[in-house]
Amino acid sequence: MCRKTVGTELALRGVVRCLSTFDVLPVDHSALRAACEDPGADYEDNVTIRCAVAANIDVIATRDLTGFTQSPVAARLPAEILKGPV
């Protein structure tokens, strides 16, 4: 996404920083299937919520909080998470 704006090298450094800062959850068939039945309008957000619940995660990092208003897992902007606990 940002490679076109900042270049490949800087974009990859950003990816490495994210991978060392955040946990990345596995996505399995059951999460993908269950997300189809969820009431949220955004399938990808539903998948994220399903995976977060399955992994017992405390918070979801997202750039768009609107898809997580009904989530049982709290959602926060990445910049807020990087500032530390609320």
pTM: 0.76
- At position 77, the amino acid (one-letter code) is L
Question: How distant, in Å, are the alpha carbons of 7, 10, 21, 23 from that of 82?
Answer: 23, 19, 8, 13
Ordered per-residue pLDDT tens for the chain, 86 residues: 677 788 899 989 988 988 888 778 899 999 999 999 998 899 999 999 999 999 999 999 999 999 999 999 999 998 898 887 76
The pair of structure tokens assigned to 49 is 């919520």
Residues 6 or more apart whose CB falls under 8 angstroms from that of 70 comprise: 39, 40
